[in-house]
Structure 1
Amino acid sequence: MARIGVIGSKGAMGQALDEVIAASTHTLAGGIDKGGDAAGLADASDVLVDFSAPAALCANLHAAIGAGIPIVIGTTGLEDKNHSSIDEAARVVPVLQTGNTSLGVTLLAHLVREAASRLGPDWDIEIVEMHHRRKVDAPSGTALLLGEAAASGRGIELAGHSERGRDGHTGARTEGAIGFAALRGGTVAGEHSVILAGEEERITLAHSAENRSIFARGAVRAAEWLIGRKAGRYTMDKVLGI
């Protein structure tokens, strides 16, 4: 049984985590939101789960380091400087960072990586995602995770092969590019499709999230797995053993 501290407790994911933790064998060590005492929460916890905002990440990592406990980061919209901070923290404590804590999405990314590695660059890859109207970042963290999986399968860097926001006379599609399209509306928890389009055939790999509780359950499983690990940076793949 672990004491789990939730950062971003007033958000939709924070509330979902409260419910999942309450139904588990673990206990909620407490929760904080903007302006809360991350260090105090860390001292009372065995592991932290962070679904807050990129601007709060540095302070949350320092809190985990100060208490010597692991931290699961599900916050999306991270920039290069955030990833640098995560790399530094991972030298001291176990850190699991992911664009999506769903176990189903984790397996989907594995399948996308495998498909991309076995099909040539003449197979076009397009990633389509849809989320609720209040989501502020695009493409979603999950879409980028899937894009990274596709790029990894092809042995290329996503940053140099990404196409986004097509509009107007864009010219022909670049061979080997990985395209993104983001849709927003309603209360959609999250839908992602990866389309691999070849000559006269298509493969579509997809995942639909029906409720945010799937992300909360995955985050709790990740927190369980992370406790007792050596310092380092981990992914959800390790949680599933793939």
Structure 2
Amino acid sequence: MVMTSSPLRVGIAGLSGRMGQGLVKSALDAGCVVAGGTCRDPGATSFSMAELTRDGSITLCADMRQLADISDVVIDFTHVSSVIDHAAALKDAGVPWVLGTTGLSEKDQRAVDEAAQTIGVVQAANFSAGVTLVLRLAREMGMALSAERFDAEIVEMHHRQKVDAPSGTALAIGEAVAQGRGVKLSDVRAPAREGHCGARKTGEIGFAALRGGQIVGEHELLFTSATEQITLGHRAFDRRVFADGAVQAAEWVSGKIAGLYNMEDVLGLS
């Protein structure tokens, strides 16, 4: 890949999806060029290419390797099943990667980590500046509020079409709390409660997932003791906030040395 000066050529994986369309608009508003994108169904009529790109000049690519060839950086919010292939393609092409796909297995994450030895990768469960601050505060609160005294519960709500639960952001908040407490989330995560499930165990991090309407995303972290409760929350009104953050990450990682970065790095909080 030959880096261009300006404007930045951004490739978008999953171009025709709801998030993909938002990324196109955010990239154009930021002064970037949308070099191209992958699309599950290139013949889809659910959106107007000319309207989306404002002039219709965009390349629909057959796969990630073709997209990498024409891009300075690729933004990827596609399905977890694509992560390993995308990691290999972008690593081989030397193209930075902004990855918002969640639900990765250990094998998937290893592929991302290996790619980050060759290219810059910004990986985040949520690209909102507000959520980035929530994650930072959740880690600090987990450190300050002991598991023996404070029960940690995470409640999230999303639109009725969302297929995974808990959300990637909710799990990231749980990871932050666990990190602050010096434990692994997998060791303390409580499954959704239903029926006669017994008393809450000390140190558990619980999750509750709600679905309904067209809510973009709401997350609330509650620390509750016998005498007080502290609540930390975030509410997204427009998914554009995620697209804008991803484009900001794309601009930031362009030209950076190889490594695995997050939104705290992008926002200068690390």
Scaled to the shorter chain, the TM-score interval is over 0.9
Partner of 2:262 in structure 1?
235
Instruction: State the identity %.
Output: 48
Question: What SS class does the counterpart of residue 82 from structure 2 fall into?
Answer: helix
Question: What SS class does the counterpart of residue 199 from structure 1 fall into?
Answer: coil
Largest Rg, 1 or 2: 2
Q: Supply the distance in 2 between the matched residues of 1:70 and 1:60 (Cα, whole angstroms).
A: 11
- Paired residues in the alignment total 242
Q: Could you list the per-position Cα deviations for residues 135-194 of structure 1 after superposition, in whole angstroms to 9, with x for gaps in the alignment?
A: 111110000110011011111110000002111111111111110011111111100000
What is the correspondence of 1:86-235 to structure 2 with a 5 Å cutoff?
86-121=112-147, 122-235=149-262
- TM-score normalized by structure 2? 0.87
Verify the 8 A CA contact 1:123 1:198 in the aligned structure 2: yes
Partner of 1:75 in structure 2?
101
Question: What SS class does the counterpart of residue 133 from structure 1 fall into?
Answer: coil
For residue 37 of structure 2, what is the amino acid of its counterpart?
A: G
Question: What SS class does the counterpart of residue 176 from structure 1 fall into?
Answer: coil
Deviation, 1:45, is: 0.6
Q: Supply the distance in 2 between the matched residues of 1:11 and 1:25 (Cα, whole angstroms).
A: 21
For residue 169 of structure 2, what is the amino acid of its counterpart?
A: T
Q: Could you list the per-position Cα deviations for residues 22-74 of structure 1 after superposition, in whole angstroms to 9, with x for gaps in the alignment?
A: 11121111111237321111111110000110111122112211221110110
Structure 1 runs not aligned, ≥5 long: none
Verify the 8 A CA contact 1:130 1:183 in the aligned structure 2: yes
Verify the 8 A CA contact 1:222 1:239 in the aligned structure 2: yes
Question: What SS class does the counterpart of residue 91 from structure 2 fall into?
Answer: helix
Question: What SS class does the counterpart of residue 172 from structure 2 fall into?
Answer: helix
Question: What SS class does the counterpart of residue 20 from structure 1 fall into?
Answer: helix
Question: 3, 9, 34: which one pairs with 2:9?
Answer: 3
Between 1 and 2, higher relative CO (CA 8 Å, sep ≥ 6) is seen in: 1
Question: What SS class does the counterpart of residue 101 from structure 2 fall into?
Answer: coil
Verify the 8 A CA contact 1:110 1:149 in the aligned structure 2: yes
CA-based RMSD of the aligned residues comes to 1.1
Verify the 8 A CA contact 2:88 2:111 in the aligned structure 1: no
